[in-house]
Copies of this chain bind each other. A is one copy, B any other.
Amino acid sequence: MSRISALDLPMADPLPDQTRKYFDICQEKLGLVPNVLQAYAFDIDKLNAFTAMYNDMMLGDSGLSKLEREMIAVVVSSINKCFYCLTAHGAAVRQLSGDPELGELMVMNYRAADLDPRQRAMLDFAAKVTKESSVIEEADRQALRDVGFGDRDIFDIANVAAFYNMTNRMASAIDMRPNPEYHAQFR
Q: Which residues of A contact B (CB under 8 A)?
A: 6-9, 42, 45-46, 48-50, 52-53, 56-57, 60, 78, 80-83, 86-87, 100-101, 104-105, 107-109, 111-112, 125, 129-130, 133-138, 141, 151-152, 154-155, 158-159, 161-163, 165-170, 172-175, 180, 183-184, 187
Contacts and interface: CB of A to CB of B under 8 A. Distances in A.
B104 A183 contact: yes
Name, among A46, A83, A168, the residue most crowded by chain B CB atoms within 10 Å (CB to CB): A83
B109 A81 contact: yes
B111 A137 contact: yes
8 contacts: A7-B141, A9-B152, A53-B53, A82-B133, A82-B134, A100-B183, A129-B169, A165-B165
Given A6-B141, A82-B133, A133-B169, 11 more contacts: A42-B152, A42-B155, A49-B49, A49-B52, A53-B53, A81-B134, A83-B108, A86-B108, A101-B180, A162-B165, A165-B166
A118 B49 CA distance: 28
Contacts of A175: 112, 136-138
B162 A167 contact: yes
Contact of A56 (B46, B134, B173): B46
A166 to B, nearest CB: 4
Contact of A184 (B109, B137, B187): B187
Name, among A7, A42, A109, A112, the residue most crowded by chain B CB atoms within 10 Å (CB to CB): A112
A108 B172 CA distance: 12
A154 B187 contact: no
